[in-house]
A = this chain, B = another copy of it.
Amino acid sequence: MKALVYNGPRDVSVKEVADAKIEHPMDVLVKITTTNICGSDLHMYEGRTNVEAGKVLGHENLGEVVEIGDAVGRVEVGDIVCLPFNISCGFCKNCERGLTGFCLTLNPGTAGAAYGYAGMGPYSGGQAEYLRVPYGDVNCLVLPEDAGEKENDYVMLADIFPTGYESTELAGVKPGETVVVYGAGPVGLMAAYSAFIKGASKVMVVDRLPDRLKLAKKIGAIPIDYSKESPVGQVLELTGGEGADRGCECAGYQAHDAEGNEQPNLTMNQLVRSVKPTGGIGVIGVFVPEDPKASDKLEKKGQIAFDLGLFFSKGLQMGSGQANVKKYNRHLCNLIHEGKAKPSFIVSHELSLKEAPDAYKHFDAREKGWTKVLLKPAA
């Protein structure tokens, strides 16, 4: 089958690889119809991870079940399914509490497995014609009858919609509260969108790319351009000097300052200043335990110079980590199905699989207009 393969830093290509197939009685085989390029794919693309050459990428996947293992009981051939990016067993200590992003079974020695991802187990990604899904009954979200019509919305359930949503959960967003989101990439926009779904009274989104800020404004958020003025000052002004009730970190360790230099502690410390005393922060942008190629000395060790003194004085709370997609995907699916959510508003490109290498190049360059790329391997 054809698949998008990582060859090395900034080098991916579409190649023939061994066919995905059923390997365990609980497996399900899915023919991929939509698979997205994620911002976190770029960490691998740029060579900032230890992902091995030859890896098939792609963890935001949707498609049709074409074969099932002997022990599969719930999922049926013909079902249209969306796959959470984190693969889970359903029965380990973490999965049974809904912490499926930290499954202890599928990537032994670590907590958490994923398709086509550095350090997340031996699983191939879905930027390919077919995908093997372990523990199919656990991992397949079977979509309703409008799956075809709303495919570009439902595919967001694989990762960025639940991920953005989880940042609002970790931050503790409640109806009527004010929320500031740092980073208006796909996940940040989903965080802002989720904050509105949860009844936020005011949502502010900080970025410097006009395309992204325009999308933030489109969904009703207040765009804050940090390239011109301190975002902290703007947030304080918009909240009567108090700071936002809640903040979401959706940029991660590759955040850039106004001059365009990478500054890993930028958004975290701005959040500590932007959120009011007793507030909460949800960290869903990726931070890594080590980053040997970083220029920043602390960042090499996976550290940041963090304003813990102010954090403590303000009595803040923060939660972090890759999203437990299964905790949210059913309910967010309902919202799409009932017409209450339409996360496809961020899609800028729908391309074929063979156009993927070119798309990586444009997306990695944060080119104007490249907000979210969907690949259609079956088209």
Binding site for B on A (CB under 8 A): 24-26, 69-71, 73-74, 89-99, 101-102, 105, 111-112, 135, 137-138, 170, 174-178, 197-199, 201-202, 253, 268, 277-278, 283, 286-291, 298, 301-322, 326, 328, 330-335, 337-338, 340
Known contacts A174-B331, A288-B309; 17 further A-B pairs (Cβ under 8 A): A74-B105, A91-B138, A93-B330, A94-B277, A112-B277, A175-B197, A175-B332, A175-B335, A199-B199, A253-B309, A283-B308, A286-B312, A290-B309, A302-B308, A303-B308, A314-B321, A317-B319
Our pick among B74, B92, B306 for the contact of A303 (Cβ within 8 Å) is B306
Our pick among B25, B170, B176, B328 for the contact of A330 (Cβ within 8 Å) is B176
| CB-defined contacts of A97 to chain B, threshold 8 Å | 98
| CB-defined contacts of A328 to chain B, threshold 8 Å | 176
Closest beta carbon of chain B to A89's beta carbon, Å: 7
Closest beta carbon of chain B to A191's beta carbon, Å: 14
| CB-defined contacts of A102 to chain B, threshold 8 Å | 277-278, 315
| CB-defined contacts of A175 to chain B, threshold 8 Å | 197-198, 331-332, 335
* Most chain B CB neighbours (cut-off 10 Å) among A26, A93, A306: A306
| CB-defined contacts of A330 to chain B, threshold 8 Å | 93, 176
B74 and A92: CB pair below 8 A? yes
Complex A-B: 18 CB contacts under 8 Å: A24-B71, A69-B71, A70-B70, A90-B90, A91-B138, A96-B326, A97-B98, A102-B277, A112-B277, A112-B315, A253-B309, A286-B312, A287-B308, A287-B309, A301-B307, A302-B309, A302-B310, A315-B321
| CB-defined contacts of A308 to chain B, threshold 8 Å | 268, 283, 287, 302-304, 306
Closest beta carbon of chain B to A210's beta carbon, Å: 25
Bound-state Cα–Cα, A338 to B69, Å:
41
B335 and A201: CB pair below 8 A? yes
Bound-state Cα–Cα, A253 to B308, Å:
10
A303 and B314: CB pair below 8 A? no
Bound-state Cα–Cα, A305 to B339, Å:
39
A96 and B105: CB pair below 8 A? no
Bound-state Cα–Cα, A322 to B239, Å:
24
A176 and B287: CB pair below 8 A? no
